Amino acid sequence: MPQATGLNVIALISGGKDSLYSILHCIRNGHKVVALANLYPEPSPSTQNDEEDEDIDSFMYQTIGHSIIPLYEQALGIPLYRQAIKGNAVDTSRIYKNTTATTTTATNTNGPDETDETESLVPLLTRIQQAHPEANAVSAGAILSTYQRTRIENIAGRLGLTP
């Protein structure tokens, strides 16, 4: 197989077909996937031992089947980095403009200074960038969702990654 000459990609994976397809698309276009990134539901005390039942109603993240994500690392031979999702959908506007990670607006019904769930990507991607300094791009299967795409583009831009 020829050496990849394109971008060094961090692939966001949800367990759905679109995120896996985006990995295949990256490889086909000459990019190298250097790491897999996954955000999963933060376990509640009542479901600590029943990981599969833990699913959240998220505006941003698909979490059904999150317990099988470690198999992607084995199947693809690409290192996997995971982190729990923090917060809720605070900024639900179509175009994401949150650059402060918290909000205290009147539209926030989740309590003062609630963190937007989108911001969970920042520490995860930062940790991957530290482990893989060659990473310079991020891929996701959420390209047809303006809601998800603009949030990924916002975070990627703030971290110096090509979306």
Interval 12-65: pLDDT, tens: 998 778 889 999 999 999 999 999 999 888 766 655 555 555 555 554 555 566
Amino acid at 108: N
- Report CA torsion sign: 84, 66, 80, 5: negative
How far apart, in Å, are the Cα atoms of 147 and each of 7, 20, 67? Answer: 24, 20, 25
Percent of the chain whose pLDDT exceeds 90? 40
* pLDDT interval class at 151 (50, 70, 90): confident
Whether residue 8 contacts residue 137, with contact meaning beta carbons closer than 8 Å, is answered with: yes
Expressed in angstroms, the distance from the first to the final Cα of the chain is 25
Nearest to 151 by CA among 108, 91, 88: 91
Q: What is the pLDDT of residue 134?
A: 98
Phi-psi region of 159 (alpha: psi -120 to 50; beta: other; left: phi over 0): alpha
- Report CA torsion sign: 154, 157, 159, 162: positive
Distance CA 45, CA 124 (A): 23
Q: What is the pLDDT of residue 92?
A: 59
- Determine if the pTM surpasses 0.85: no
Distance CA 50, CA 16 (A): 21
Between 128 and 1, the more confident residue is 128
